[in-house]
Structure 1
Amino acid sequence: MSVEGRKIERQIRRYEFPLLLGLVITWMALWREFSLFTFIGGVVVAFVVMRVFYLPPVELAGRFNLWWCLRYVGYFFSQVAIASLEVAWIAVRPKPVPLRSVIAVRLRTNSDFILTLVGLTISLIPGSFIVDVDRENQVLFLHVLNTPDHEAVEKMRREVAHIERLLIRTLGSREEVKLVG
């Protein structure tokens, strides 16, 4: 194997380590036993899973900002609480079911990791979820509850942009951070 080939393989291995670690922890949690035997079994199972169900490596920016992470977590939990109350009110109020919309939101990031985190965040906040993803164009298609007018749709787009901005400032590359300001 050439020097360049070995370098690429080392990079792939470096990107696979978090997946390996996550699979081993999941294996040990499923067995509800944290011992040397379940750790070794988890490593073996993780290697088999990683070879049989190969996924392309997800490149991480290699940076983490604790301050922006705390802001993201605070924003997320506040939005979950607020949206839970809104959805509960919609469910029990005597009025008819409000209008719903499927909207497209274009993200600024090219990172599959950030795109996935934005999608998961939106789906975990009550009243909205991801219907489809156009990965090539970085567009999320969301089904959103209670969008009676254009302003409500734009408010949701701004919320998605805010979540993306928080995640980029937490985990994004330096170029992406410059992009979002």
Structure 2
Amino acid sequence: MSLHPRRRHGRIQWLTVAWLTLAWVLLWGDLSVGNVLAGALLGLVVTVVFPLPAIASGMTLHPLGFVRLVAHFARDLVVASVQVSVQAFRRRPPVSAVIGVRLRSSSDLYLTLTAELCSLVPGSIVVEAHRLTSTLYLHVLDVDTAGGVEAARRSVLDQEERVLRALASPAQLAAAGLSARPARAAAPGVIA
């Protein structure tokens, strides 16, 4: 008797089988009945022999937060690409740093998403992610362009907040110390 819940209940991961079948067909470059059946059979064998653990994410997709996440990421991508391009033509070497940023959420999923989004922006790369402390260590190419070490840290925390506001449940937001609604910035000259 197996203690693994997927093996014990005999559940098959059909979505994973479908993705593996699609990957098989794309790798072979031939959409035929035999190729699809071979991919499905191989996908079935892989998911039965190597089942993936269940992910209890508790995620809730917030459409407006997701749009904000994607739009801000696209903006970061363009701005950072220009900054890195300019840096390539400068004569002075960049002042680089490795910074540690302790994230608010203890979820592995949100840690991974934040790390991936930070790594995809040119000029920074995650060199280590420490799961137990929810800490990301990033190499920042030019901290002067980034506004200093604290600005680079703030940028990572802002990215995590956008990820949480796009995907986290209200309980996960509260656990991360964030309110259910984002705080609105006060107008200049107005005391909040």
- Per-residue CA deviations over 1:83-136 (Å, capped at 9, x if unaligned) read 000000000122x21111111111111221111111110110000001011111
State the percentage of identical aligned residues. Answer: 32
Please report the TM-score for the alignment, with normalisation by the length of structure 2: 0.76
Superposition deviation, residue 175 in structure 1:
1.3
* Structure 1 segments unaligned to the other structure (5+ residues): none
What is the aligned residue count?
175
Partners of 1:12 and 1:57 within 8 A in 2: no
Contact 2:96–2:141 at 8 Å: present in 1 too? yes
Call closer, same or farther: CA 1:107–1:40 in 2, change over 3 Å.
farther
Q: Is the 8 Å Cα contact of residues 99 and 146 (structure 1) preserved in structure 2?
A: yes
One-letter amino acid of the structure 2 residue matched with residue 166 of structure 1: R
CA distance in structure 2 between the aligned counterparts of 1:12 and 1:81, rounded to whole angstroms: 47
Does the CA-based 8 Å contact 1:130-1:140 persist in structure 2? Answer: yes
SS at match of 1:104: strand
Deviations 1:19-60 (A, max 9, x none): 444333333332345555444433332333335555433322
| Alpha-carbon contact 1:61-1:171 (below 8 Å) kept | no
Which letter does structure 1 place at the counterpart of 2:65? W
Q: Give the match for residue 149 of structure 2.
A: 153
Structure 2: tracts of 5 or more residues without a match: 180-192
1:1-181 pair list within 5 angstroms: 8-9=5-6, 16=13, 18-34=15-31, 37-94=34-91, 96-148=92-144, 152-178=148-174, 179=176, 180-181=178-179
Instruction: State the AA in 2 paired with 1:123.
Output: S
Give the residue type in structure 2 aligned to 1:177: L
Residue range with higher mean Cα deviation, 98-107 or 55-64: 55-64
2:95 and 2:61 mapped to 1: Cα distance?
39
| Structure 1 residue aligned with 2:190 | none
RMSD: 2.9
Higher percent of residues as helix: 1
TM-score normalised over the length of structure 1: 0.80
